Structure 1
Amino acid sequence: MILLRRAIKGLAGILMLLAIGFALYAFLRNRPQDVPWTPLDLGQHTGLFTGRKLAALDTDFAECRALLDKAGVRYSALSPAGKGGCSYADGVRLHPGGPDAIALSPSEARMSCPVAAGLLMWQWNVLQPAAQRYFGSPVGRMLHYGTYSCRRLYGRATGPWSKHATADAIDVAGFVLKDGTRITVTGDWGGKGVKAQFLHTVRDGACGLFSTVLSPDYNRAHHDHLHLDQARRGAFGGRVCR
């Protein structure tokens, strides 16, 4: 009798695991972006592994450009530039088009392809939905302090190279909506109104798309911008969101 009860409990456990596995499969089948081994598609919503897939594009410039092409993105591929730790071989310049496209200001922004891909997914999945929700108007321009810059961390003379040195980062200073509303990290991050809520929302949304997201909550060096980069830290490497 005892053996029979144990057998029944064991069978029930197996059936439960099978049911959970089937439910998980059914869920993931409709959300391939949540599976680590499925190909990245910039047109999909952000998934559990989207950020890691975007960062991994630094090993295959051709694949990254193919993803931009598939998504209908207008861009120019740039020739390799720089030397050693201060260089890039996968640079692009975005040429946004369409009624809801976000223009970069300044427009001459050289960035690595993985950063461009992350920036576009941030625009489509986070920025524009948040702007419509909080203000009822889309973002027209993204203000930034730069992308590619041959310098070391915090502008020091020695030490590790900044991710800007390989065009793998962008410092976002704020946004201008299509209705003229201006939102800046310097002026609005620490407030209590809707602009501060918007900035915190888009910062949080960037964390699923970039390897590193640093805001004024991190330190004084980031008091006026959101630092977004695609640092490659391996398949199981940590991600930073502050």
Structure 2
Amino acid sequence: MHAVPIGLPLQVLARSPGETLPDWLARAQLLPEACPIEGAFLTSLPPLVGEGSCGVAPAVRLEAPAGGKPGLPSRPEISCGLAGLLSTFFRQDLREIARRMLDEDVTEVLTGPGYVCRHRNGNPEAKISEHAKGEALDVTGFVLSSGVRVTVADDWGGESREAAFLKAVHSAACGHFTTVLGPEADADHADHFHLDRGCHGRDCTYRICQ
């Protein structure tokens, strides 16, 4: 792993509908090679390419925010911009919530892969998913410094302190991401939090928090 210093503003290069792959890749080559997130542990990747309009540039493999904790053992492949948001959220909000509510640190965040070339909820008739742009990550749970695992599938709901912790994390995420979906959104999100920074509304400032 290597820590990447701060530099140019975070960017993401969306692949326009109908844009040919060679044209998109040509534009991607003009982007900075490094992802400028202060202190984050990540690896810069070449553009991720899929069928249709799937694709991510610049892409990274995120391993941990600044300081190295919490780690992301799945090392999701996502956009540089999403990596910046996640790093801030994990380093600040998640750490503070865990210490305040559980008197522990979060050592690992359990996630899905990040980039997946697919439509929303796996429905081929739906719009393309933010996962297909590297702009979404599914979080399934957390490993605490005691070794205890708190997962959305097992601990969401009820009166336990773990349930309260998950509720607080979900609520805090709504202040960072434009879309936050959990078990109360629908059955497709019963076992994870979906976090993305997709554009909603004319000025991309509308947020969905469910």
- CA offsets 1:26-58 (integer angstroms, 9 cap, x no match): xxxxxxxxxxxxxxxx9xxxxxxxxxxx9x843
Q: Look up the match of 1:65.
A: 35
Point out the structure with max Rg over C-alpha: 1
Is 2:78 the counterpart of 1:111? yes
- Is the 8 Å Cα contact of residues 57 and 64 (structure 1) preserved in structure 2? no
Q: Look up the match of 2:69.
A: 101
Question: How far apart are residue 123 of structure 1 and its match?
Answer: 0.9
Q: Secondary structure at the match of 1:176?
A: strand
Counterpart code for 1:140? T
- Is the 8 Å Cα contact of residues 143 and 175 (structure 1) preserved in structure 2? yes
Give the structure-2-normalised TM-score.
Answer: 0.79
Identity %: 34
Q: Look up the match of 1:121.
A: 88
How many angstroms apart in 2 are the aligned matches of 1:199 and 1:176?
A: 12
Q: Look up the match of 1:136.
A: 103
How many angstroms apart in 2 are the aligned matches of 1:142 and 1:72?
A: 18
How many residues end up aligned between the 2 structures?
185
How many angstroms apart in 2 are the aligned matches of 1:208 and 1:146?
A: 23
How many angstroms apart in 2 are the aligned matches of 1:63 and 1:77?
A: 7
Give the structure-1-normalised TM-score.
Answer: 0.69
How many angstroms apart in 1 are the aligned matches of 2:127 and 2:154?
A: 31
Counterpart code for 1:65? C
Q: Look up the match of 1:183.
A: 150
Is 2:126 the counterpart of 1:159? yes
Question: How far apart are residue 212 of structure 1 and its match?
Answer: 0.4
How many angstroms apart in 2 are the aligned matches of 1:190 and 1:105?
A: 26
Relative to total residues, which structure has the larger helix share, 1 or 2?
A: 1
Counterpart code for 1:116? A
How many angstroms apart in 2 are the aligned matches of 1:148 and 1:64?
A: 18
Gaps in structure 2 of 5+ consecutive residues: 1-5, 15-30
How many angstroms apart in 2 are the aligned matches of 1:197 and 1:157?
A: 35
Question: How far apart are residue 157 of structure 1 and its match?
Answer: 2.4
Q: Look up the match of 1:231.
A: 198
Q: Secondary structure at the match of 2:91?
A: helix
Is 2:185 the counterpart of 1:211? no
- Is the 8 Å Cα contact of residues 66 and 87 (structure 2) preserved in structure 1? no
How many angstroms apart in 2 are the aligned matches of 1:59 and 1:90?
A: 7
Q: CA RMSD in A?
A: 2.5
- CA offsets 1:42-96 (integer angstroms, 9 cap, x no match): 9xxxxxxxxxxx9x84369649923x0xx22222111012144211112111233
Counterpart code for 2:207? R
Query: In the superposition, relative to structure 1, how do residues 74 and 145 fare at CA in structure 2: closer, same or farther (>3 Å)?
Result: closer
Q: Look up the match of 1:89.
A: 57
Gaps in structure 1 of 5+ consecutive residues: 1-41, 43-53
Q: Look up the match of 2:23.
A: none
How many angstroms apart in 1 are the aligned matches of 2:133 and 2:188?
A: 20
